[in-house]
Structure 1
Amino acid sequence: MTSGIYISKRRKKEKYSCSECNKEHKSECKGCICNVIKDFINKEFFIRTKSSDVIVGTIIEFDKKNCCVKILSPETLSPKEPAEITIISCKDIESITFAFQKKINL
């Protein structure tokens, strides 16, 4: 879609504005994780996916337009593995776990 024109095989060319587009194509990033993940950028997590994989890393980016979460997993020394970036939809994350920093009086 370039220059504000939508082309359909069944219709003539139609003009649209950004406000119309935003009303019709709202973000599909809904749910518990998708709603809160933007608040946890640059924090380290254990992330459990819906397929039961566990990703340990830092959330470096969240795109609410397409629901993509970028996670940076650090390099490991044993076994030697390079740092990796994983891109996953927030809809495919089952849970996130992180260290609680507050002292608790027992």
Structure 2
Amino acid sequence: MFLCNLFGCSGGVCSILKNLQPGEVVTVTGKSGNIIGPAVFTNFNPNTCIVTLEEENSVTPPTTSITKISCKEIESITFIS
């Protein structure tokens, strides 16, 4: 059984991500201070608490990085309009 099934992905950032629509552009700050984004939110798995983000790299040729992070390890989310 997954840890998040025992304790739930609820409250704070996890609750925001549960309701976020795929395709939203966000910048995420992790609890370690690492900044991810701007990135496209693609998925939230409520069974594992894992968020999937796609971030375009600014190298030539352009590439896309896929980042998976637990919602419990995210300190803040900035929405980009």
Superposed pair shares fold, TM > 0.5:
yes
TM bracket, shorter-chain basis? 0.7 to 0.9
Matched, 1:33 2:9: no
- Per-residue CA deviation, residues 1-58 of structure 1 (Å, 9 max, x unaligned), is xxxxxxxxxxxxxxxxxxxxxxxx5552122110111222320111000000000001
Percent identity, please: 29
Q: Which has the greater radius of gyration?
A: 1
The answer to which structure has the higher strand fraction is 2
Corresponding residue number in structure 1 for 2:31:
50
May I ask how many residue pairs the two structures share in their alignment? 76
RMSD between superposed Cα atoms in Å: 2.2
Which TM-score applies when normalising by structure 2? 0.79
Unmatched 5+ residue regions in structure 2? none
Q: Which has the higher contact order (CA 8 A, sep 6+)?
A: 2
Which TM-score applies when normalising by structure 1? 0.62
Unmatched 5+ residue regions in structure 1? 1-24, 101-106
